[in-house]
């Protein structure tokens, strides 16, 4: 059985060799903070749902602690009465953590606010890089925070940890040079921008729709606005106050207002690719999509639904063609088709060519290539 120390060294060596960790000081912080201190001995699970127990299966537990994979430490906010089985807190994959901290461009002397303490590993890494007294971490869940504090003690780190709603930041410790969110947001909270110094950065997973998230790095300007590029796709659990409503697929018996046939290539496949789905989500507002088996098990169908439940669409195989069904005040499939056509006209740009501006009044606008380029209002 490989020791924790050897697994730890191997993980950091892998992150540096792959280019995920290029900042020498940040790499030193990763080497100084063993990840297994922040994985609960009992009760955690892998993303596939396999339970982890350090007493019954210590090698499996240690292997998960040093794999480049997330470890789920809480389901359904820890509420045994909830049957959803939705992960609500985790220790993020090391490669993703490295990517976010590299994006933050950390420098000596900076003060950082972390939104979402989680297991405490990210806060410990920040503290190892900048100093314990330079880091404030806010966590809304009392049980999660209690576990993080215990883990930080084991690791010998003492950043300031606060119980509170991270959407409001932590004004008592402001201003900060960096705000780093370990939860996804659709609306960048004004408090994060206000509590960051001019020229400082807000780094967060941003999403227009669940499942199509990107890493955003926003620079705060003197007029109270913030803007910056997207740095590729990634997925995080949403900020609790911004959790999307449960996906509501139209019932199989729902009758459409309109039906038509599509001929040619599979219209569903493009929307299963991240680059297409992302471009569509920034252009089509307040909707959800999903896949389920087609009636009779003949392939798959795509469903779309507006967030208010008033409009829906289905795309189903129909022999050698595809049948589109729509209902409600919005023709959702038409909106999705128009968004895809616009994206193709623009040359099918990848998510890395997009960025976000948050105006001083809170208005959100996604843009292509530059803040003055083609854009899509998000309000």
Active-site residues: which are they? 92
Rounded to 5°, angle at Cα 226 from 277 and 22: 75
In whole angstroms, what is the distance from residue 132 CA to residue 33 CA? 13
The percent helix, strand, coil of the chain (3-state, each to 5) is: 35, 30, 35
The string of DSSP codes covering 33-81 is S-GGGGS-SEEEEETT--EEETTTSHHHHHHHHTSSS-EEEEEGGG-TT
Q: What gap in Å lies between CA 367 and CA 363, rounded to an integer?
A: 13
User: Using alpha carbons only, what angle is made at residue 184 by residues 65 and 277, rounded to the nearest 5 degrees?
Assistant: 105
Please spell the DSSP secondary structure of 109-176, one letter per residue.
Answer: T--EEEE--TTSHHHHHHHHHH-GGGEEEEES-HHHHHHHHHHHHHHT---EEEES-GGG--GGG--E
């Amino acid at each position: 059985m490989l020791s924790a120390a050897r697994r730890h060294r191997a993980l950091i060596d892998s992150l540096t060799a792959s280019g995920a960790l290029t900042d020498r000081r940040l790499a030193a912080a990763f080497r100084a903070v063993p990840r297994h201190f922040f994985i609960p001995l009992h009760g955690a699970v892998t993303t596939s749902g396999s339970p982890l127990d350090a007493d019954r299966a210590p090698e499996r537990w240690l292997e998960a602690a040093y794999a480049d994979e997330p470890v789920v430490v809480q389901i359904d906010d820890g509420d045994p009465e909830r049957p959803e089985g939705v992960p609500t807190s985790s220790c993020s994959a090391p490669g993703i953590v490295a990517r976010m901290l590299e994006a933050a461009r950390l420098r000596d002397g900076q003060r950082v606010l972390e939104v979402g303490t989680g297991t405490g590993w990210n806060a410990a890494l920040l503290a190892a890089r900048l100093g314990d007294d330079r880091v404030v971490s806010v966590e809304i869940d009392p049980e999660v925070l209690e576990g993080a504090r215990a883990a930080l003690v084991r690791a010998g780190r003492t950043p300031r940890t606060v119980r509170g709603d991270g959407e409001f930041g932590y004004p008592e410790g402001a201003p900060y040079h960096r705000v780093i969110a370990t939860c996804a947001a659709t609306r960048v909270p004004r408090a994060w921008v206000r509590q960051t110094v001019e020229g400082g950065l807000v780094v967060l997973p941003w999403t227009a729709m669940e499942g199509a998230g990107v890493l955003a790095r926003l620079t705060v300007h003197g007029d109270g606005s913030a803007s910056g590029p997207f740095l590729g796709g990634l997925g995080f659990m949403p900020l609790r106050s911004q959790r999307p409503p449960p996906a509501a697929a139209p019932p199989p018996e729902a009758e459409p207002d309109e039906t038509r046939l599509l001929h040619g290539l599979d219209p569903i496949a493009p929307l299963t690719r991240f680059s297409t789905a992302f471009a569509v989500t920034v252009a089509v507002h307040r909707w959800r999509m999903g896949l389920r088996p087609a009636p009779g098990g003949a392939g798959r169908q795509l469903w779309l639904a507006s967030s208010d439940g008033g409009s829906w669409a289905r795309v189903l195989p129909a022999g050698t063609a595809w049948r589109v069904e729509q209902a409600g005040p919005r023709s959702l499939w038409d909106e999705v088709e128009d968004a895809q056509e616009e994206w193709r006209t623009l040359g099918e740009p990848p998510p890395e060519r997009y960025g976000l501006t948050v105006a001083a009044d809170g208005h959100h606008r996604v843009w292509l290539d530059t803040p003055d380029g083609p854009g899509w209002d998000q309000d």
